[in-house]
């Protein structure tokens, strides 16, 4: 009876080994179930081994039966060793599998972390670039607004200058008409235009005071020279004649008829200081000194300014 039981146990272990071999390629869940069955079979084998050892202490009845028992015991031991090897292999495979899965998960997590960092860095760069574009847009908008304001200002200035030009043109036309009428009344009168001023070049001779009075009657006055260019222009006009200008000396000081003291003179000769009353004459070579007494007569130049030059 014991031999029958042992045969059944060996068959069970053999079937378990075969099942273990067939389930090596199964999925993880089936492997776990197979391991539980193997452990149950191992417990059953240990139980039968205990019973076998107990029976060994009993006196043997037959020598042939002992040899058979030894061979069966060896078969059981071999099967148990094989089961242990298979269990160890299964555990190692599971360890390798889980270690590989863990490493893959760690690598994938590191990869995702690196990708996330790249995305965050790119997002920050985009935000910085967007802020720079916003600032540039504000600067361009401000410049454009300033250009529009400047354009409007220039348009207003242009309109004002156009209106002033029209007014000046009208004044010049009006003054030219008046001067033309005066020229028509006497062939001896002559007006010349230069740099927003009209100059009356007389052909008759008068004293300095009478010359100034005549200029005032013509809504002008004896010429006051304000620049080197004007001096050169009047020197060309004078030619070979001498003309009174609005410059005289009183108490040793040369002054223009508006009361200002000369800062720069265009004298033909250098004269010594004197407290006598003298007046200046315009010639083609510069100014000359001449007495202002009433019996000294010369031609004269009157000036009427319509607008101050820029």
pLDDT band (50, 70, 90) for residue 24: very low
Q: Give residue-wise pLDDT tens across range 165-187.
A: 777 766 666 666 665 555 544 54
Place of tokens 């390798």: 96
Kindly list the domain boundaries of the chain, sorted by start residue.
2-117, 189-305
Query: Is the domain defined by 189-305 classed in CATH 3.30.2350.10?
Result: no
Q: 279 near 247, Cβ under 8 Å? A: yes
Determine whether 87 is exposed, middle or buried from the number of CB atoms within 10 Å of its CB (0-12, 13-18, 19+): middle
Look at residue 1 in the predicted model and tell me its pLDDT: 54
Q: Is the pLDDT of residue 190 over 80?
A: no
Q: How many residues does the chain have?
A: 310
pLDDT band (50, 70, 90) for residue 309: very low
Neighbours of 171 (CB within 10 A): 13
Q: Give CA–CA dist 25/31, Å, rounded.
A: 9
Look at residue 36 in the predicted model and tell me its pLDDT: 47
Q: Give residue-wise pLDDT tens across range 136-159.
A: 888 898 888 888 988 888 888 888
Measured in whole angstroms, the distance separating CA 280 from the mean position of its chain's CA atoms is 65
Which of the 8 DSSP states describes residue 194? E
Q: Give CA–CA dist 222/241, Å, rounded.
A: 16
Integer angstrom CA distances of residue 188 from 183, 193, 288:
8, 17, 25
Q: Give CA–CA dist 51/5, Å, rounded.
A: 11
């Amino acid at each position: 009876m014991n031999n029958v039981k042992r045969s059944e146990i060996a068959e069970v272990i053999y079937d378990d080994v075969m099942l273990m071999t067939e389930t090596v390629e199964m999925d993880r869940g089936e492997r776990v179930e197979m391991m539980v069955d193997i452990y149950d079979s191992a417990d059953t084998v240990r139980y039968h081994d205990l019973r076998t050892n107990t029976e060994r202490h009993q006196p043997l009845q037959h020598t042939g039966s002992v040899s058979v028992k030894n061979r069966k015991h060896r078969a059981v031991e071999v099967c148990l060793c094989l089961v242990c090897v298979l269990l160890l292999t299964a555990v190692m495979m599971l360890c390798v599998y889980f270690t590989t899965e863990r490493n893959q998960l760690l690598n994938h997590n590191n990869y995702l972390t690196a990708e996330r960092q790249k995305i965050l860095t790119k997002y920050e760069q985009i935000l910085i670039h967007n802020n720079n574009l916003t600032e540039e847009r504000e600067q361009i908008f401000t410049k454009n607004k300033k250009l529009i304001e400047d354009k409007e200002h220039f348009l207003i200035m242009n309109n004002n200058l156009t209106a002033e030009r029209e007014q000046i043109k009208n004044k010049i036309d009006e003054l030219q008409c008046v001067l033309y009428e005066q020229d028509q009344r006497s062939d001896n009168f002559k007006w010349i235009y230069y740099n927003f001023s009209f100059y009356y070049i007389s052909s008759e001779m008068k004293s300095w005071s009478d010359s100034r009075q005549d200029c005032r009657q013509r809504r002008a006055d004896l010429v006051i020279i304000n620049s080197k260019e004007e001096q050169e222009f009047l020197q060309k006009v004078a030619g070979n004649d001498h003309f009174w200008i609005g410059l005289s000396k009183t108490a040793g000081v040369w002054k223009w008829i508006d009361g200002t003291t000369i800062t720069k003179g265009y004298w033909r000769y250098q004269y010594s200081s004197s407290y006598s009353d003298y007046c200046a004459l315009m010639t083609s070579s510069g100014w000359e000194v001449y007495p202002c007494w009433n019996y000294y007569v010369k031609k004269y130049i009157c000036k009427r300014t319509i607008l101050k030059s820029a």
